Amino acid sequence: MGKYLLTDMAIDHTGNISLENIWQSQTKASTDPTEADSECAEQGPVLFSKEPQLDISVIMPVRNEGPNIESVIRGVLDQDLDGLSLEVVVVDGRSTDDTRERVQQMAAHDSRIRLLDNPAQLASAARALGVQMARGRYIAIVDGHCRIPSRTLWKDMVDLFERTGAACLSRPQPLVSSTENAKARAIAAGRTSCFGHSMHSTIFDNTERPVPPTSSGAMYRREVFEQVGTFDPRFDACEDVEMNWRCAQASLSCWTSPKLAIEYEPRRTFNALFHQMFRYGLGRYRLHRKHPESFSLESLIPAAFVLGIPLALLGFLLLPFPWKWLAVTPYLLYTGMTLFFSCVVACKKGWSLLPWLPLVFVILHTGLGIGYLSGLLSETPNDG
């Protein structure tokens, strides 16, 4: 099992984190993922330079989150902590808006807020940098575009860790639109339906129970990173799934609870949804390339769906009757399933969403498929 471990090499002579040093300490002279894993495993788990000084570190990878950042940080800090100590480590990816200035202004009035620079501008690198500098016994990841509905989130998190002995916790992430935008509401409804996300995902779970960490792990004991390593900074998406896959392979226990839920805003346009799904598909391909044992037939369905479209069209145009109809039968069945699930979702969430839902499902599935195929067709053997 591969490890991505940060070492003291990641800190330069000034005491600052260097992304270049992190990368060198992880890969040495090799850029091949499997060779890099071997090198890192031999270095040993020298991840933290100090013993934990606080109870909780909240890592917040951000870039251009100016309109949201203050409310998210306030949501993290305005909690009933019941004596728990907390820090917020904001890792900014060279924002071009006023994100940094807003964080600096808040940090000037609250010493619990720390701001780090992320020259790589990737969320994966931000997570790795934040973990390296975390001072808490428990480490949680919170994005810069979410809402925290509970005022006891961190107390509930620590309680669940201590009651269950879990190594990591999965966090439900319900999609809740803050506007009446019909497209955004349809996107949220479609993504949270059984036709819009993996059958094995626990990301929209609402029951307290033990779960595999792979799909939605986001809260960890400090020792987890010493055991399985940190987030792979080469991933542009799916870095959390890749990290959690290593947790699962190490047989680390994981629980989820609705008390840990953090609300996310759904994408508001179809173009934004496609871009999101494309990145997820590409990230999924990179996960499978790095960890072939993570591959499943279910994850290949979107790519097979996209790849079969031109073949089905050619078959319909060139084959004689009745074979031409046989060529497009899978897509006729898909159309029927899409309309059926659109009606089921609209019945639960509102019939005003029905005109948008079929397109939402098509974008979800084709975006994932095209992203996966893009990785398969474009990456060279030495790509990360």
pLDDT band with cut points at 50, 70 and 90 for residue 3? very low
pLDDT tier at 378 (50, 70, 90 boundaries)?
confident
Mean pLDDT of the 311-336 span: 94
Alpha-carbon gap, residue 24 to 233, rounded angstroms: 12
Residues 169 and 262 in one domain: yes
**Cα(219)–Cα(350) distance, rounded to whole angstroms?**
34
The answer to whether the beta carbons of residues 115 and 103 sit under 8 Å apart is yes
pLDDT in tens, 134-168: 999 999 999 998 999 999 999 999 999 999 999 99
Residue 15 pLDDT exceeds 50? no
Residue 278 is assigned to a structural domain of this protein: no
Residue 197 has pLDDT above 90, yes or no: no
Whether 313 and 221 map to the same domain: the answer is no
Give a yes or no: residue 107 inside a domain: yes
What 3-state class would DSSP assign to 345?
helix
Provide, rounded to the nearest whole percent, the portion of the chain with pLDDT above 90.
Answer: 75
The region, left, alpha or beta by phi > 0 then psi within -120 to 50, assigned to residue 51 is beta
Split at pLDDT 50, 70, 90, the class of 379 is: low
User: Mean per-residue pLDDT for 224-236?
Assistant: 91
Q: Is 181 in the same domain as 298?
A: no
Residue 2 located in a structural domain: no
Residue 89 has pLDDT above 60, yes or no: yes
Q: Do residues 248 and 342 both lie within one domain? A: no
Tell me, yes or no, whether 185 and 71 share the same domain: yes
> Read out DSSP for 178-216?
SS--HHHHHHHHHHTSTTTS-TT--TT--S-EE--STTT
Per-residue model confidence (pLDDT) at position 296 = 87
Same domain, 222 and 118: yes
Other CB atoms within 10 A of residue 142 CB: 23
H/E stretch holding 115 reads strand 113-117
pLDDT at position 202: 84
Tokens of 139: 């480490």
d(CA 66, CA 52) in angstroms, rounded, equals: 30
CA dist 349 and 195 (Å) reads: 15
Q: In the listed set 268, 303, 329, which residue is the last one of a domain according to the structure?
A: 268
Under the banding of pLDDT at 50, 70 and 90, the label for residue 380 is low
Residue 203 pLDDT class (50, 70, 90 cuts):
confident
Q: Quote the CA–CA distance of 154 and 79 in Å, as a whole number.
A: 7
Q: Looking at residue 21, which CATH number applies to its domain?
A: 3.90.550.10
pLDDT at 47 over 70: no
The single-letter code of the amino acid at 88 is V
Residues 212 and 252 occupy one common structural domain? yes
Q: Which amino acid is at 16?
A: N
User: What is the mean predicted confidence (pLDDT) over 20-49?
Assistant: 40
Scored b (16 or more CB within 10 A) or e, 226-256 reads: ebbbbbbbbbbbbbbbbbbbbbbeeebebbb
Does residue 322 have a cis peptide bond before it, meaning omega lies within 30 degrees of 0?
Answer: yes
Q: Examine residue 256 and state whether it is found in any structural domain, yes or no.
A: yes
Alpha carbons within 13 angstroms on the beta-carbon side of residue 226 total 15
pLDDT-derived band of residue 49, with 50, 70 and 90 as boundaries? low
In a domain, 281, yes or no: no
**Is 363 in contact with 203 (CB distance < 8 Å)?**
no
- Determine the average pLDDT of the residues in 372-382: 78
* Domain assignment present for 97: yes
**pLDDT at position 204:** 86
pLDDT of residue 255: 96
pLDDT exceeds 80 at position 328: yes
Cα dist. 300→249, 317, 356, 366, 371 in Å?
21, 26, 25, 12, 11
User: Which among 55, 63, 120 is positioned nearest to 95, based on CA atoms?
Assistant: 63
Indicate if 160 and 307 belong to the same structural domain: no
Confidence band for 21, pLDDT divided at 50, 70 and 90: low
Weakest-pLDDT range from 31-40, 98-107, 265-274, 289-298: 31-40
Span 194-222, average pLDDT: 89
Same domain, 250 and 316: no
DSSP 3-state assignment of 332? helix
Q: Identify whether the C-beta of residue 212 lies closer than 8 Å to the C-beta of residue 248.
A: yes
Count of domains forming the chain: 2
The yes-or-no verdict on residue 14 having pLDDT over 90 is no
Nearest to 281 by CA among 365, 369, 384, 194: 369
Residue 11: pLDDT over 90? no
Q: How confident is the model at residue 245 (pLDDT cuts 50, 70, 90)?
A: very high
Q: What is the pLDDT of residue 29?
A: 31
Do the domain assignments include residue 283?
Answer: no
Indicate whether 203 and 143 sit together in one domain. yes
Domain boundary among 268, 303, 331: 268
Here the tokens at position 324 are: 């031409």
Q: What are the residue ranges of helices labelled H in the chain?
A: 19-27, 33-43, 66-77, 99-109, 123-133, 153-164, 182-191, 222-228, 239-249, 270-290, 297-318, 323-349, 357-378
The answer to whether residues 263 and 299 belong to one domain is no
- Please give the backbone phi and psi of residue 329, each rounded to the nearest 5 degrees, phi first: -55, -45
Q: What is the pLDDT of residue 26?
A: 43
Local confidence band at 237 (pLDDT 50, 70, 90 cut-offs)? confident
Long-range contacts from 191-198, C-beta under 8 angstroms, 24+ separation: 191/266, 191/360, 191/364, 193/341, 193/344, 193/345, 194/341, 195/337, 195/338, 195/341, 195/345, 195/361, 196/360, 196/361, 196/364, 198/298, 198/299
State whether 231 and 354 are in the same domain.
Answer: no
Residue 178 has what pLDDT? Answer: 84
- Tokens 């949201």 belong to residue: 68
Owning domain of residue 350: 289-378
Q: Residue 175 falls within a domain, yes or no? A: yes
59, 69, 70: which is closest to 124 by C-alpha? 59
